[in-house]
Amino acid sequence: MTVLASSREGAVPPAPTPTTVSRTRQQSNVISALSPLVQHALQLQQLISTIALHLFVRAYFAVYLVTSATLEASMSIARRALILSKWLGQKTWKSRRATRLRKRLEFELFVLLVGPCGNMLFLMLFWPGWLALGLALWAYGHVTG
């Protein structure tokens, strides 16, 4: 095998045959025929990419303008609604009916706290034994837990 390899290294390449010459001419004819088509395809791709980029940039700016206008409009509506609700709240709070309702609710609260039921409520809430019960339960939880 080394003999074959050494003989090939110094060998002269074979002369082109008529079939290889005709194939080369055919390939060059095909390439030369397709060259304008490829150039037109590349130009079309560049044109499409330019148009797409232009449309993308225009769409971006259009969306930016629409969103900023929408944000500004919604903030304006929110501000007006806040001002209106404050105004209505003040008018309602100062009305005669609201004043009468507040006075009735205040009276009922005082009756509840000062009356017989209120006394029991205060005893239940502020009974000093709750502190002792809470400490006992806490100690029991730490001892057993």
pLDDT of residue 20: 57
* Residue 8 in tokens: 């090939």
Check: CB of residue 113 under 8 Å from CB of residue 121: yes
Give the total residue count for the chain. 145
pLDDT of residue 14: 63
**Mind listing the pLDDT tens digit of every residue in the chain (145 residues)?**
444 445 555 556 666 565 655 566 666 777 777 888 889 999 999 999 999 999 999 999 999 999 999 999 999 999 999 999 999 999 998 899 999 999 999 998 888 777 777 777 777 778 888 888 989 999 999 999 7
Q: Which phi and psi angles does 94 have, rounded to 5°?
A: -90, 0
* 3 inside domain: no
pLDDT of residue 1: 46
Residues 6+ apart with CB under 8 A from 98: 92
Which of 72, 94, 116 is the last residue in one of the domains? 94
Domain that holds residue 140: 102-145
Helix axes 96-114, 116-126, angle to 10 degrees: 70
CA dist., res. 101 & res. 13, Å (int): 114
- 89 and 110 in a single domain? The answer is no
Which of 94, 112, 136 is the last residue in one of the domains? 94
Intra-chain end-to-end CA distance of the chain, in Å: 89
Q: Quick check: helix, strand or coil at residue 67? A: helix
pLDDT of residue 61: 97
* Maximum alpha-carbon separation in the chain: 126
- 36 and 65 in a single domain? The answer is yes
- 87 and 135 in a single domain? The answer is no
pLDDT of residue 123: 78
Which of 94, 114, 129 is the last residue in one of the domains? 94
- 113 and 141 in a single domain? The answer is yes
**Number of folded domains that form the chain:** 2
Query: Is the entire prediction scored with pTM above 0.75?
Result: no
